[in-house]
Structure 1
Amino acid sequence: MTLIDLGELRDEPDREVPSPRPPRAVGRPLRVALALVFLVATVAGAAPVSERVSVVVPARLGAEAFLDDDRLYVVEPAEGEPEGTVEVRAYALPERAPADDAPPAPVWRSRVPAAGRFWQVQTGPGVVLFSVTGDRDDGQTVALDAGTGHERWRQPGYPWWDPTGVLLIQTGGAEGGVVRSVDPASGQALWSVPTPREGATYSVRSGLGGPIVLAFPGGRIEVRELRSGTLQHAADLRLDEPAGHTMVTHDLLLVVRPRAGVVTAYGLDGLRLRWEARLPLVEHVQDCGELLCAHRGNGGFSAVDPATGAVRWIGQRWFGVLSAQGGRLLAVAPGPVGDRFGVLDAATGRQVADLGTWQLMPWFADDRLLAVRPAAAGGGLVVAHLDVAAGRARVLDVLRDASGDCRGDADTVSCRLRTGEFGAWRYGG
């Protein structure tokens, strides 16, 4: 990642920094950038450093590191192999500090031909799935045995794990693609259905897998059962213009018509009309916890009641909401040296905390939000846990030898060191 000097930072982890008064809202135009995987946020308070266990593993130029399920995976070009072949090494993250400074031995190492860049790792029952980008196709999913590193299978498309353990792999393209349910152990397809160009949309209900929704050009909508692919509901909604955005949340299919400034909600249980709301300049709708956030092309968003479509309040100065926790929302807006983040009360939209500027690590919905920023003095990076519900960021550590390329997973952070190696740090609580 690119790190920018953000100025002075109180990076002493044993001090408690008082939360500043929230700034007055302003009405200037805001950028709209909501498909975020790498996010940014900051500190309203600091707490003592948690007990940590650290380990350093070797890496060469061009290596990348990934965290998942108590393991650190290092992926780097393989020496003495054809171009495009990488070596994958799996390291078990220790529960306690090693007795000496010797680098740990990998649990396994594997040579993997891959015509693209590894960008994501996901662990399932007995397998580790690596997502590989493609220059001329939809990329690939490569499954390695979690215990040995031997390749089990590979196939085109990108994976998605349902919370109940169902594995779906999806391909796309200008003419549409396919979504299929795959046996993780063998890669065998259990069922498959064609998808539109925009692909399939997955629904999650209270941590359980909901239906799969397909929105085809012209207005045909299909709702299919997750485990079997069976068609449950279908309807021709006869859209009068191409939908600028469709999404599934709160057991609703939402269709956005930007030119008309209209958002229409259909129930997934039969695709019957629930409500229609006029929202001028609307371009994109996203899940905001108990609310919907409808974003406008000129900046700002409206917080919408998903049951009725009524506007509850307007976030005039914000261009996105990134997380919802404990009745509060993490919102983003432009700042003097980068995007700044604030915590909003979900019921009223009132700002309750100013969290400043951080670089948030890649994260999934249930992960705690871990972020870094350059240390004010002495070099390195400050690591913090962004607690949206509490309206503050708890400083975990100051990593003096870290330079960037940080990732987080549960209680662990990995970063590239100034020496080129990768370090991993585990934190409690």
Structure 2
Amino acid sequence: MSRVIELGELPHGGEARPVAEPPRPPARLIRMALLGCLALVTLAGAAPLAHRPAGVLVPAPQSASFVVVAGRLVVADGPGTVGRGGRAVTGHRLPGGETAWQFLLPAGDHVLGLSTVAGLLLVTSSPTGAGDTRSTALDPASGTVRWQHTGYPVPTQEGGVLFETPRADGSGTLRAVDPASGAARWSLPLPGNGVAYRTGDRGVREVVLVTADGRVEVHDADSGALRHTGRVPPAADGVSYRFTQVVADLLLVDAEPDRVAAYDLAGLRRRWSVPVPARGAGWFADCAGVICLHRQAAGVGVFDPATGRQLWTDERWLRVNPIGARLLAAAPGFGSEEELVTLDPATGRVLARFGRWRLSGTDRLAARQLGFRRLPDDRMLVAELDVPAGRIRFRAVLVGTWDDCADAGRALVCLRPSGGLVVWPVDP
């Protein structure tokens, strides 16, 4: 049984009063209502355990990578198997867990990650010694190889895929590929200091190349067409830029000592500059219409992208992630669980509180996040956190300790710390 908790939003500014305030119930009734809610929460998680069949065991090594795509659970050897010969990628049917196919990487390769593009499974691997990263596209239903390309995959906003192939000598190539056929669409040489991307909610929209002398090229991510070109002032040391980043519609460069300057991508007009923490002590990010400066230890500062004016700062947050028009912020909690809230990006005001959870490590930008909370008697509560709506929906209570889970609709797929996956049937 699934149960929904409506968190709602806090009053604007925390001080607004309703026009007519209803009478408050006696304290005894409040206590009884709270006890009743606690009982409902406990039953909502515990009752399904007595009626549902046991989970289905699926073989998986310790720290395995896994993904659910097109009705298949795909499992790959994880980082713990590097150097020990593990190179198998296996597709299992859901919800039964039966083996559907197996793909073997070349001898000496190991898996870097699993991802999806245009309904295909991408297996990214690397040789143990020298050699290029390789990405292999598989049909998730049959395991059939569709195509292969060298490089690490980067999805685009329009459903395409880019492959980065940097070289140790500073050279390299960026190649765009049609995911349906594997045919190359276009390619560009990479400058020595790498490439920056202007991203949308589903992937890269524009590719931004900045050379050491300040020449800037902005290309469409899917067609490769040159949209804009121009220059920014040379790097402060006269050699090369140590920092180039695209955030929203701005190019950020370290053109001055201890400051970062922002340039409009379309015309490369300088908008503003701000002081930055010591090198490596922070990073910028697009935060739902504002710009966040994350500090390495803790805390975040938020800036107006048009003027560079600081809108607010808060030392409580370990990190904030943009999800739709809100920010999901995390404060220290207990162990690996964090206190999660949603914020208004422009003001930093708390809109909803989710309580203490550990989030799944899959897609941190998804509107619905999978959260885990330890319960007494060696149990774990699994819930879906709907960030835009500010709601929590319970999915299951599992016995034991689990590294991570993936939501497969009518099943949860969870990984044991010691290895092995279990497919648990749940309500969709």
TM score, norm. by length of structure 1: 0.73
Distance 1:332 1:255, change over 3 A: farther
- Asked if residue 360 in structure 1 is aligned to residue 360 in structure 2, the reply is yes
Give the alignment's Cα RMSD to 1 decimal: 3.9
Query: Are residues 359 and 145 of structure 1, via their aligned partners in 2, closer, same or farther at CA, if it must alter by over 3 Å?
Result: closer
**1:107 alignment partner, SS class:** strand
Counterpart residue number, 1:115:
108
CA contact (8 A) 2:354 2:392 kept: no
Match of 1:30 in 2: none
Largest Rg, 1 or 2? 2
- 3-state SS, counterpart of residue 358 of structure 1: strand
State the shift of 1:304 in Å: 0.9
Distance verdict in 2 for CA 1:271–1:86, change over 3 Å: same
Deviations 1:368-387, CA, capped at 9 Å, x for gaps: 2112233322x243212233
Q: Deviations over 1:262-289 (max 9, x none)?
A: 332222223222x113235373211111
Q: Find the counterpart in structure 2 of residue 74 from structure 1.
A: 75
Q: Deviations over 1:316-373 (max 9, x none)?
A: 33242123344x3222344564573342332322345363342432215335211223
1:222 aligns with 2:220: no
CA contact (8 A) 1:54 1:423 kept: no
Q: CA deviation at 1:408?
A: 2.4
Q: Is 2:147 the partner of 1:146? A: no
CA contact 2:206–2:220 (8 Å) conserved in 1: yes
Sort the Cα spacing of 1:324 and 1:263 in 2 relative to 1 into closer, same or farther, 3 A. farther
Give the letter for the 1:255 counterpart.
V
Q: How many residue pairs end up in the alignment? A: 378
Structure-2 separation of matches of 1:58 and 1:386: 27
Is the CA contact (8 Å cut-off) linking 1:138 and 1:158 kept in structure 2? no
Tell me the residue number matched to 2:35.
Answer: none
Structure number with greater CO (CA < 8 Å, separation at least 6) is: 1
Contact 1:367 1:409 in 2 (8 A): no
Partner Cα separation in structure 2 for residue 408 and residue 46 of structure 1: 22
Alpha-carbon distance in structure 2 between the residues aligned to 1:57 and 1:156: 34
Supply the distance in 1 between the matched residues of 2:328 and 2:297 (Cα, whole angstroms). Answer: 20
Percent identity reads 31
Q: Quote the residue 2:372 is aligned against.
A: 372
> Are 1:231 and 2:226 an aligned pair?
yes
Q: 1:405 to 1:206 in 2, by over 3 A?
A: closer
* Structure 1 match to 2:34: none
Structure 1: state its 5+ residue gaps.
1-11, 22-44, 95-102
**Residue among 263, 269, 273 paired with 1:277:** 273
Partner residue of 2:179 out of 184, 188, 193: 184
CA distance in 2, matches of 1:227, 1:15: 40
More helix by share: 2
Residues 8-407 of structure 1 aligned to structure 2 (within 5 Å): 48=44, 56-59=56-59, 61-62=61-62, 64-76=65-77, 84=85, 86-94=87-95, 103-113=96-106, 115-125=108-118, 127-135=120-128, 136-174=130-168, 175-205=170-200, 210-237=205-232, 238-241=234-237, 243=241, 245-256=243-254, 259-260=257-258, 262-273=259-270, 275-281=271-277, 283-296=282-295, 299-326=298-325, 328-335=326-333, 337-338=335-336, 340-343=338-341, 344-352=343-351, 353=353, 355-363=355-363, 365-366=365-366, 368-377=368-377, 379-391=378-390, 393-400=392-399, 403-407=401-405
TM-score, length-scaled by structure 2: 0.74
